[in-house]
Structure 1
Amino acid sequence: MTEESILVVCAANVCRSPLAELLLQRGLGSSAGITVTSGGVRATAGDTICTEVAHLHGDEAWRESADAHRAREVTAEMIEHASIVLAASRDIRGELVRLAPRSRDWMFTIKEAAHLGEGFPSAAEDRVVEYVAHLDRARSRAVPLAAPDDLGSRLRRVFSGRAPSDPTSIADRHGSRGHRDTIAEVERAVETIVAQLGGPARRSS
């Protein structure tokens, strides 16, 4: 078995990506032989994890991991050495493609991976490498994720000035009333990915 790694990336590396990192570490477990790290495309080095993520679980292991987290800016080298890169949103993925274009084939948004990973045979020896191949094949033939878009919703967006939501992305609502919704979206998508990779998610209070 080769050394495999997952890199999760968001903007500041204080909420979405470290949350996904901690959840993947917890769900896959140390015996999986998969390293999980995170970074941000506009991170301020040394920033701590957001308070709500830090207090999401009350067990000592979660608190220690959350307290130890320090934001770091993602580099092309980090991307190129990852087995898979999971971006919080499609615009973040676009920035990563521009930073490391040769690695675009193993870049997906978190929600995109959860959607495309259905049916993955998790018994594969090099799980992450095989998972990427499965996602890439599914991406080439899948109908894109789409948000409901009838005439009424289009007209409401025109008159409200709001852009349509992207179903492949998890919005950055850090510090807003929608912050808990962002956390819940990350939790659901990561739980699906963990199940696809064959690591039973472990819940705690």
Structure 2
Amino acid sequence: MSGESILVVCAANVCRSPLAELALRRGLGADSTISVSSAGVRANPGDPICTVVAARHDDEGWQAHAQVHRAREVTVELIEQSSIVLAASRDIRGELVRLAPRSRDWMFTIKEAAHLGSGFSSSAHDRVAEYVAHLDRARSRAVPLTPTTGVRGRVRHLFGSRGAADPSSIADRHGSRGHGETIAEVEAAVAGILAQLGGHRRHS
């Protein structure tokens, strides 16, 4: 086994990050050498997964992981032991960078990874490490941060302008009328990442 791992992080670890975790597990397949886990920056340890996420698929693998999932807080150790960290939003990524600054080079938002990873393909055993290198190079080639452009300017260059919303983030709409939109955004970004990592998107 490669020992490579993906850590997905959101706020409470009950909706966005476990959805991405389960979707990545499902797409990579049971025989994948890449492990996937999730955590939250403000998790209430022990909270169960969102019921909407749990009911998203009825296959045995999805249901087994959904039933045993319990929210947990992210730690420096979890971050530093991961091959890549995928944050639900730029705000979450910022919190993770402050928590574990040495690991910032392998931290991306979920949407950022799906966007920057365009064109990546590898069948190597250490393909997550190659993927991170690809993402980091793509990020470094983006419009450089200047007093004029700032972070917002760079984000708009990467993703295009969509009003005040940050296009590289997936908003926390758990329990609100926009819950379905959040789920759709997570699933779309994960589908892109799976295509880049050589996984597959199952529709049933």
Q: Do these two structures clear the TM 0.5 threshold for a shared fold by scoring above it? A: yes
Matched residue, 2:2: 2
| Residue matched to 1:45 | 45
Question: Are 2:110 and 1:97 aligned?
Answer: no
Q: What displacement does 1:147 show?
A: 4.0
AA partner of residue 67 (structure 1)? Q
Matched ranges for 1:54-203 at <5 A: 54-143=54-143, 144-148=157-161, 164-203=164-203
Residue 50 of structure 1 deviates from its aligned partner by 0.6
Deviations 1:78-130 (A, max 9, x none): 00000000000000000000000000000000000000001112223311000
Q: Using the TM superposition, give the Cα deviation of residue 146 of structure 1 relative to its aligned residue in structure 2, in angstroms.
A: 3.8
Could you tell me how far apart the structure 1 residues matched to 2:159 and 2:131 are? 23
- Residue ranges of structure 1 left out of the alignment (5+ in a row): 154-163
Q: What one-letter code is carried by the residue in structure 2 that aligns with 1:133? A: A
Q: 2:8–2:17: 8 Å Cα contact kept in structure 1?
A: yes
Please report how far the alpha carbon of residue 140 of structure 1 lies from its aligned counterpart in structure 2 after TM superposition: 0.6
1:181 CA drift (Å): 0.1
Partner of residue 158, structure 1: none
| Identical amino acids, percent of aligned pairs | 73
Residue 161 of structure 2 contacts residue 167 of structure 2 at CA under 8 Å; is this kept in 1? Answer: no
Cα distance in 1, alignment partners of residues 54 and 185 from structure 2: 17
Matched residue type, 2:84: I
Deviations 1:43-90 (A, max 9, x none): 000000011101111223222211110000000000000000000000
* Segment of structure 1 superposing worse, 106-115 or 57-66: 57-66
CA-to-aligned-CA distance 1:122-159 (integer Å, 9 cap, x gap) = 2233110000000000001135434436xxx6xxxxxx
Normalised by the length of structure 1, the TM-score is 0.89
Question: What's the Cα RMSD here?
Answer: 1.3
How far apart, CA to CA, are the structure 2 residues paired with 1:146 and 1:193? Answer: 16
Instruction: State whether residues 11 and 92 of structure 2, in contact with CA within 8 Å, keep that contact through their aligned partners in structure 1.
Output: yes
Identify the range of structure 1 (101-110 vs 24-33) with the bigger mean alpha-carbon deviation. Answer: 24-33
For the residues of structure 1 that align with 2:133 and 2:203, how far apart are their CA atoms? 29
Q: Compute the displacement of 1:203 (Å).
A: 2.4
Q: Which residue of 1 aligns with 2:152?
A: none
Query: What is the distance in 2 between the residues matched to 1:135 and 1:3?
Result: 20
The 8 Å contact of residues 19 and 186 in structure 1, kept in 2 or not, is answered as yes
Q: Structure 2: which amino acid aligns with 1:99?
A: L
- Measure how far apart 1:2 and its partner are: 3.1
Corresponding residue number in structure 1 for 2:11? 11
Deviates more, 1:178-187 or 1:23-32: 23-32
Check conservation: 1:6, 1:85, Cα contact below 8 A. Answer: yes
Say which SS state the counterpart of residue 31 (structure 2) adopts. Answer: helix
CA distance in 1 between partners of 2:116 and 2:96 (Å): 20
1:29 shift after superposition: 1.0
